[in-house]
Amino acid sequence: MESTLSIIKPDAVAKNVIGKIVDRFESNGLRIAAMKKMQLSVDDAKAFYIVHASRPFYGELVKFMISGPVVVMVLEGENAVAKNRELMGATNPKEALKGTIRADFAESIDANAVHGSDSAENAKNEIEFFFSRREIN
Protein backbone atom coordinates (compact mmCIF):
# COMPACT_ATOMS: atom_id res chain seq x y z
CA MET A 1 0.00 0.00 0.00
CA GLU A 2 1.33 3.42 -1.03
CA SER A 3 0.10 7.02 -0.71
CA THR A 4 0.52 9.94 -3.07
CA LEU A 5 -0.58 13.57 -3.27
CA SER A 6 -2.91 14.71 -6.03
CA ILE A 7 -4.00 18.28 -6.74
CA ILE A 8 -6.87 19.17 -9.03
CA LYS A 9 -5.54 22.49 -10.34
CA PRO A 10 -7.53 25.77 -10.74
CA ASP A 11 -8.30 25.18 -14.45
CA ALA A 12 -10.03 21.85 -13.80
CA VAL A 13 -11.85 23.16 -10.70
CA ALA A 14 -13.13 26.11 -12.80
CA LYS A 15 -14.34 23.65 -15.46
CA ASN A 16 -16.44 21.84 -12.82
CA VAL A 17 -14.82 18.45 -13.46
CA ILE A 18 -13.72 17.60 -9.88
CA GLY A 19 -16.08 14.61 -9.80
CA LYS A 20 -15.01 13.34 -13.21
CA ILE A 21 -11.34 13.43 -12.18
CA VAL A 22 -12.01 11.78 -8.81
CA ASP A 23 -13.88 9.05 -10.69
CA ARG A 24 -10.73 8.28 -12.71
CA PHE A 25 -8.89 7.55 -9.45
CA GLU A 26 -11.67 5.53 -7.83
CA SER A 27 -12.37 3.54 -11.00
CA ASN A 28 -8.69 2.57 -11.23
CA GLY A 29 -8.13 1.13 -7.78
CA LEU A 30 -7.11 4.27 -5.87
CA ARG A 31 -8.90 5.32 -2.69
CA ILE A 32 -9.41 8.91 -1.47
CA ALA A 33 -7.79 8.89 1.99
CA ALA A 34 -8.10 12.69 2.42
CA MET A 35 -9.57 15.54 0.39
CA LYS A 36 -10.11 19.29 0.73
CA LYS A 37 -10.85 22.28 -1.48
CA MET A 38 -8.72 25.33 -0.72
CA GLN A 39 -7.36 28.62 -2.04
CA LEU A 40 -3.55 28.60 -2.02
CA SER A 41 -1.70 31.76 -0.98
CA VAL A 42 1.32 33.04 -2.92
CA ASP A 43 3.53 31.67 -0.14
CA ASP A 44 1.82 28.25 -0.29
CA ALA A 45 2.34 27.98 -4.05
CA LYS A 46 5.94 29.23 -3.91
CA ALA A 47 6.80 26.79 -1.12
CA PHE A 48 5.05 23.83 -2.74
CA TYR A 49 6.90 24.34 -6.04
CA ILE A 50 10.22 25.45 -4.47
CA VAL A 51 12.14 22.80 -6.50
CA HIS A 52 11.19 24.78 -9.62
CA ALA A 53 12.28 28.16 -8.17
CA SER A 54 15.10 28.62 -10.68
CA ARG A 55 13.02 27.59 -13.72
CA PRO A 56 11.83 30.32 -16.13
CA PHE A 57 8.19 29.30 -15.68
CA TYR A 58 8.19 29.48 -11.83
CA GLY A 59 6.46 32.87 -11.68
CA GLU A 60 3.75 31.80 -14.13
CA LEU A 61 3.29 28.51 -12.30
CA VAL A 62 2.78 30.26 -8.93
CA LYS A 63 0.39 32.80 -10.50
CA PHE A 64 -1.62 30.01 -12.09
CA MET A 65 -1.81 27.91 -8.91
CA ILE A 66 -3.33 30.83 -6.97
CA SER A 67 -5.72 31.86 -9.78
CA GLY A 68 -8.59 29.95 -8.15
CA PRO A 69 -9.31 27.18 -5.65
CA VAL A 70 -7.68 23.75 -5.90
CA VAL A 71 -8.65 20.34 -4.53
CA VAL A 72 -5.88 18.50 -2.70
CA MET A 73 -6.14 14.78 -2.08
CA VAL A 74 -4.24 11.87 -0.63
CA LEU A 75 -4.67 8.85 -2.91
CA GLU A 76 -3.98 5.42 -1.52
CA GLY A 77 -3.49 2.06 -3.22
CA GLU A 78 -1.00 -0.37 -4.68
CA ASN A 79 1.76 1.55 -6.50
CA ALA A 80 -0.26 4.74 -5.97
CA VAL A 81 2.55 7.09 -7.09
CA ALA A 82 3.10 5.40 -10.46
CA LYS A 83 -0.60 4.61 -10.95
CA ASN A 84 -1.54 8.27 -10.43
CA ARG A 85 1.21 9.45 -12.84
CA GLU A 86 -0.09 6.97 -15.43
CA LEU A 87 -3.68 8.19 -15.04
CA MET A 88 -2.53 11.86 -15.25
CA GLY A 89 -0.63 11.59 -18.53
CA ALA A 90 2.34 13.66 -19.72
CA THR A 91 3.00 17.16 -18.31
CA ASN A 92 2.20 18.68 -21.71
CA PRO A 93 -1.41 17.65 -22.49
CA LYS A 94 -0.57 17.68 -26.21
CA GLU A 95 1.80 14.78 -25.54
CA ALA A 96 -0.50 12.98 -23.07
CA LEU A 97 -1.84 9.57 -24.10
CA LYS A 98 -5.48 9.30 -25.12
CA GLY A 99 -7.76 8.61 -22.16
CA THR A 100 -5.47 10.23 -19.57
CA ILE A 101 -6.74 13.04 -17.34
CA ARG A 102 -4.53 15.66 -18.99
CA ALA A 103 -5.47 14.56 -22.52
CA ASP A 104 -9.16 14.80 -21.62
CA PHE A 105 -9.32 17.85 -19.33
CA ALA A 106 -6.21 20.02 -19.83
CA GLU A 107 -5.49 22.82 -22.29
CA SER A 108 -1.81 23.68 -21.98
CA ILE A 109 1.45 22.85 -20.20
CA ASP A 110 0.70 25.35 -17.43
CA ALA A 111 -3.06 24.80 -17.16
CA ASN A 112 -2.66 21.02 -17.05
CA ALA A 113 -5.51 19.99 -14.71
CA VAL A 114 -3.65 17.92 -12.12
CA HIS A 115 -0.51 17.55 -10.05
CA GLY A 116 0.79 14.21 -8.80
CA SER A 117 3.82 13.39 -6.66
CA ASP A 118 6.66 11.93 -8.72
CA SER A 119 8.23 9.67 -6.07
CA ALA A 120 7.27 8.03 -2.76
CA GLU A 121 9.64 10.37 -0.91
CA ASN A 122 8.16 13.50 -2.49
CA ALA A 123 4.68 12.11 -1.84
CA LYS A 124 5.43 11.89 1.88
CA ASN A 125 6.68 15.50 1.99
CA GLU A 126 3.82 16.83 -0.15
CA ILE A 127 1.19 15.04 1.97
CA GLU A 128 2.73 16.54 5.12
CA PHE A 129 2.70 19.97 3.46
CA PHE A 130 -1.12 19.88 3.14
CA PHE A 131 -2.54 17.45 5.70
CA SER A 132 -2.35 16.76 9.41
CA ARG A 133 -2.51 13.13 10.56
CA ARG A 134 -6.12 13.41 11.74
CA GLU A 135 -7.23 14.46 8.24
CA ILE A 136 -5.97 11.25 6.63
CA ASN A 137 -8.22 8.20 6.93
Q: What gap in Å lies between CA 77 and CA 3, rounded to an integer?
A: 7
- By CB under 6 A, name the one of 23, 26, 60, 135 that touches ligand GDP: 60
Q: Are 16 and 10 in contact (CB under 8 A)?
A: no
Minimum CB distance to ligand GDP, residue 35 (Å)? 19
- Of residues 6 through 35, those in contact with ligand GDP by CB under 6 A are none
Q: Which residues contact 92 (CB under 8 A, 6 or more apart)?
A: 109, 112
Minimum CB distance to ligand GDP, residue 91 (Å)? 3
Quick check: is 115 catalytic?
Answer: yes
Active-site residue among 62, 85, 115, 131? 115
Q: What gap in Å lies between CA 18 and CA 37, rounded to an integer?
A: 10
Contacts with ligand GDP, residue ranges (CB under 6 A): 52, 57, 60-61, 91, 109-110, 112, 115, 118
